[in-house]
Amino acid sequence: MDGGPAPEWMLPAEDPEYPVGAEVTLTADHMEGMEVATATISGAFDTTTYSVSFTPTDGGDPVTDHKWVVHEELENPGEASLAEGTAVTITADHMAGMEGAEATIDSVIEETVYMVDYESDGMMMTNHKWVVESEIEPA
């Protein structure tokens, strides 16, 4: 599975804790097989990151506290960080029914955010979006 490139207008982090190419250990558990997986950093960005709750546009079950969507993956978000409880429209397509979904911001994180490559159950995940710095440890 390839997550594709980051939004073209995102700014790479100037001095990330984990530079592109660094091998790390994931502590996040967003997906099965992710926690304690060894990963390689494929992108590092300075932006605001949000967890969101939304009902998929394809009629799927409501999703709560989805981690993560970056500021650049929201429709017309403006420049400032958005507050918890703000209603937004998601432009990302990380999962079925996400793109175009109306969402509510559950939490706001101001940390470097990363794309990572890692293997889970024999399948290589490339450019997985997103993992924040506090969900990564040195390998």
Full-model pTM = 0.93
Q: Average pLDDT in the 37-58 region?
A: 97
Q: For residue 1, is pLDDT > 80?
A: no
List the domains of the chain with CATH numbers. Answer: 1-45+112-139 (2.30.30.1130), 49-109 (2.40.10.520)
| Average per-residue pLDDT for the chain | 94
pLDDT at position 75, please?
Answer: 97
Q: For residue 131, is pLDDT > 80?
A: yes
> What pLDDT digit, counting tens, does each position of 19-47 carry?
999 999 999 988 888 999 999 999 999 99
Query: Residue 130 forms beta bridges with which residues?
Result: none
pLDDT at position 63, please?
Answer: 96
Banded pLDDT at 79 (limits 50, 70, 90): confident
pLDDT at position 2, please?
Answer: 84
> What pLDDT digit, counting tens, does each position of 91-130 carry?
999 889 999 999 999 999 999 999 999 998 888 999 999 9
CA–CA distances in Å: residue 22 to residues 4, 8, 13, 114: 19, 22, 14, 11
